[in-house]
Each structure stands twice: as C-alpha cells, then as structure tokens.
Structure 1
Amino acid sequence: MRWGQGEGSLPDGCTWVQDPRAEELRDYFSLTDVALRRVVEPERGLYMAESEKVIRRALGAGHRLRSLLMTPRWVEEWPDLLAVAHEQGAPIYVAEPTVAEAMTGFHLHRGVLAAMHRPELPSVGEVVAGARRVAVLEDIVDHTNVGAAFRSAAALGVDAVLVTPRCADPLYRRSVRVSMGTVFQVPWTRIDPWPDGVEVLRAQGLAVAALALAEDAVTLDHLEAAPPGRLALVLGTEGDGLGRKTVEAADLVVKIPMGGGVDSLNVAAASAVAFWAVRARGG
C-alpha cells in the first residue's frame, strides 16, 4: 500500500489514496457486484450513499458516517460534509478518479461516496403505528423498482413501506440513488414471515388490498371512491406479481383498468398510480 500527499494540499484530516486495494477501503471494493454486495453490506452493517444530496438526506435522517471517499475537485466544495465526518470520527479518503474507479468498479462522476452505518430496523408495529397508508413490496427483486416505489411513496402520501424477506434491499446503492434518498424519509422495515404478515397488518387495524389481476378484482376507481381509513396496499414481484396465498389472504383484490391492449404496468409505475388514487384526504 502507498499513501501520499497528492497534488496540492488537502484539508486536515483527509488521506490521499494511491492504492485502490488498500485494506482500509474495503467497504468500497466492487460496488457493481450486486451478488457480493447483497451479502457484504448487511454482514458489515453498512450501506453506500452516492452523491452529496443523498448523503445529506441520510445524515438528516440521523444516520452516521463510516467514511467518505471523494475525488480531488470536490474536496473544497463541501466543507460542511468534511466537518460532519470529523465530528463523527469518520475517515475522509481522497483519490484520483482513475483510482476511485479501479476501487469501486464505476466512475465516481458525482464526486463523493459515503459508507454509512446501517441502522437497526424497527418493528412492524412501530413503523405502521398511526399510518393511514402503507405500501407492502412483495419480492420485488429489481433495486431500481424498489427505489422508484419509495420515491412515489414519499411524494404521494404513503406513510410507511414494508418489504418482504425476498424483496431487494432498499439501502442498496442503486435503490438509494433512484429513490433520491427518500428511503431515509419514509419509515420502513421488513415484514417477516410473509404472507402470514397479512394477519399482523389486519391486527394493526389496516385493511389489506392486493394489487393483482384476478377475476374477482375490483377496479382502482372503486377503491378510490370509498377507501378505508387505514389501508395497506400490496404490490408484487416484477415477473409473476403477487403470490396466490397473498391474494387469498387480502381483504380485497384491486386492479388498475388498462387500455391499448396492455394488461399491466411495470410495478414502479403501478405503485405511483395506486398511491395517488388511494392517498389519504383530509385530516
């Protein structure tokens, strides 16, 4: 391993990186290897926040830094981020773009990455207490879809999100980025076991609606016209949709009316439509 001062002087507390495989930087290795990161990040109790805006949202939610990785041109741009890192005892690493790319597997065009301490997830009861609208993401495997669903949830009045055991990690880098950091804004946790968790939601006072294509499904217009006071809306995986047991356990099944010979929408698009239709109105 070689450490140096780099070109020009760095602010106090910053460490210049020349070796992309330095052991101190292992949190940042192979960020594009999804299979590896699914295991590594939860095991180490960390997640990655990409871009200054996302890092600020994470910090605003009370999350703590493990370290920062920056390219030189951005070091002077965000002195307050450096100050927070100093306050929290988090190392600040600075590397040329080619070194950062060799380390992470992609070009650091947003100028900064943060390894964050992964917070402990709350219980389902804590997350849904008082919630009028809850989204349940069942086995959605694409991190982009998870992030997009969280962004829609934040924008369209969903109070909480629950993810099933096989659902993609909302704190995976791509999910966080696509959500624009709203994964830190909307309360969420995992609901396990599932679909037995439908009974847990019902015991919490929530009506459970499954978004699925079924012969006995009512249209979203019907649900929008007379929504229950407290509602959990369940959306299913990209390929097959909701599982049969989930549909059978729900209080009602709902479908979005389709035209143009299309039978369904991408789950991220469907979530936005459904969240808007069932948004809680009034006090």
Structure 2
Amino acid sequence: MRLLPVTDAHDHVLDDYRSLTDAALRRVQEPAGGLYIAESAKVIERALAAGHVPRSVLTQQRWLDDVAALLDGRDVPVYVVSDAVAHELTGFAVHRGVMAAMRRPEPPALTTVLENARRVLVLEDIADPTNIGAAFRAAAGLGADAVLVTPRCGDPLYRRSVRVSMGTVFQVPWTRIGEWADAAHQLHAHGFEIAALALRDDAVPLDDYAAARPDRIALVMGTEGEGLSADALAVADRVVTIPMAGGVDSLNVASAAAVAVWAITR
C-alpha cells in the first residue's frame, strides 16, 4: 500500500469520498462513476474476497495496522487523514476506521446466476437502501442461492445498502433483471416457479406452500406501500402470504424476506 497523508479536506484526491451524506451526489457518483463505497474492515474484507478491486482507501493514523493487514500487500493508495478532515470530507464521523472506493464490477448474466440456484429472492422496485441491505443479509444468512433486483429497484452497492448488509452483497450472487415479460420467461426456462408474496384472497399460506414447495422457487417481494406491481402478479405462478396475528396485516419487507426465505429453505 502507498501511504499518502492528506491535510486538506478539499484536496481533489479525496473526491470519491466527498459529501457522502448528499443523496443526489451519491446517486450520480457511485453508479455513473463505476464506483461504490465500502465502509468498515469487515465489508471491505468481503469485497476483496469476492474479487472486487479498490481504487483507494481512506483511513486515520490509528487504523493503519488494520488497513495493512486488510490490503495484504496490494498496491493501493491509502489516504491518511485526521478525524476533523474525515468529518469535513464525508459529512459524518468515520467511526468504523476505514472506507474504500471500490471499482464496480460488471453484473453477471442472469443465466449465470440462475444456473446452479434453487432458491432465489427477487426484490421488485424497493427503493430504501436499508431494506435492500437487510434483505441481502437475510438471503445470505438463511440460505437463498441468489438475489435478483428489478430495473427500478435501488442499488445493492449503494453505501448504506452495503453497510446494512454487512458486506453480504458480495457473497450472494445477484444481478439486475429486465422487465417482467422477459424476466419471467427466463425464470420459467430455468425451471423456476414464481411465487409472489402478496395480500390476496386466493393467496396460499406460506407454511402450506413451503410444505409442498417445488424444486426451484423465485420468491418475489414488493414495496411496503404499494406491494407488488400488476405485472409481477400477472406472471406469478402462485401467490403466497405470511399468516399474521394481532391485527397486523404485513411485515417490513426485509423481515418478510427473512421469514419467507427461512420457510422455503427448511
């Protein structure tokens, strides 16, 4: 690694990390610039293990031994800043010690992701990065083989999604699918039954569905407000619901994903 002390928060070498609390800037900079931000040693470790390449690292003096172990001889510029510079630069205290600007890999083809998968979680149009990250963490921890995201779903490599997922976005195969007419055809061609989680009178209770589940399942989750789109419901082979109690009609989408994935993988 190459240690480069930086004392001015306005130095252009730090532009990748600038004003990360500004949502509009993040949307422009991360996807369009071919970068994403990985925050914390654990997240960066998982990104490196997945073969992702760091463009640079931002840290403070007291974390340099940890950063050296993390990078393990990689030739990466490491910008060393004070706490005050880090706060001025990013807009928040960098409590986790290290951040990395990572080069964004090309997403794999859908056929590649589906080839050896049997249990797939599909996130339709979910915008909240916290929910996306939590859904990925549930998928990784509870045994889903892959995650698919629709064209209007938020970015799994968004800084907050990555952080909430604890880096599991790097260990679960995932890719972005096309519109439902094409995506459903590809899922069916690979032998997947499309099971849509929705509140509908003809929905099958999740425990009943899990008891007689098919060999390959694509479990589709929608937004908390509007639920699944009409297009998603139209291509679904089954509609499934999580039985609720206490006058509650549904769960947070990340919680629902965890329950549903647990049910179909057990």
* TM-score, with length taken from structure 2: 0.97
Report whether the alignment pairs 1:51 with 2:78. no
Deviation at 1:72, TM superposition (A): 1.4
Report whether the alignment pairs 1:13 with 2:2. yes
Amino acid at match of 1:136: V
Deviation at 1:33, TM superposition (A): 1.5
CA distance in 2, matches of 1:32, 1:203: 42
Deviation at 1:43, TM superposition (A): 1.2
SS in 2 for 1:158: coil
CA distance in 1, matches of 2:74, 2:44: 11
The residue number in structure 1 matching 2:144 is 158
The residue number in structure 1 matching 2:228 is 242
Counterparts of residues 168-207 of structure 1 (less than 5 Å): 168-194=154-180, 196-207=182-193
Amino acid at match of 1:64: V
CA distance in 2, matches of 1:61, 1:188: 12
**Of the candidates 38, 60, 65, which is equivalent to residue 76 of structure 1?**
65
CA distance in 1, matches of 2:242, 2:210: 11
Report whether the alignment pairs 1:226 with 2:226. no
Report whether the alignment pairs 1:31 with 2:23. no
Counterparts of residues 269-280 of structure 1 (less than 5 Å): 269-279=255-265
Amino acid at match of 2:148: L
Deviation at 1:113, TM superposition (A): 0.3
CA distance in 2, matches of 1:163, 1:228: 22
Do the aligned residues in 2 keep the contact of 1:82 with 1:92 (CA within 8 Å)? no
CA distance in 1, matches of 2:184, 2:240: 16
Please say which structure displays the higher CA radius of gyration.
Answer: 1
Deviation at 1:245, TM superposition (A): 1.8
Question: Gaps spanning 5+ residues in structure 1: where?
Answer: 1-11
> Which structure 1 residue ranges, 4+ long, deviate > 6 Å from structure 2?
none
CA distance in 2, matches of 1:123, 1:43: 20
CA distance in 1, matches of 2:248, 2:31: 38
- Alignment RMSD, CA only? 1.3
SS in 2 for 1:167: coil
The residue number in structure 1 matching 2:249 is 263
After the TM superposition, which of the residue ranges 68-77 and 184-193 deviates more from structure 2? 68-77
Do the aligned residues in 2 keep the contact of 1:149 with 1:268 (CA within 8 Å)? yes
Do the aligned residues in 1 keep the contact of 2:180 with 2:235 (CA within 8 Å)? no
The residue number in structure 2 matching 1:109 is 95
CA distance in 2, matches of 1:28, 1:234: 34
SS in 2 for 1:93: strand
Deviation at 1:25, TM superposition (A): 1.2
CA distance in 2, matches of 1:78, 1:118: 21
* TM-score, with length taken from structure 1: 0.91
Do the aligned residues in 1 keep the contact of 2:203 with 2:238 (CA within 8 Å)? yes
**Of the candidates 95, 103, 108, which is equivalent to residue 122 of structure 1?**
108
The residue number in structure 2 matching 1:216 is 202
Deviation at 1:82, TM superposition (A): 4.5
Deviation at 1:38, TM superposition (A): 1.5
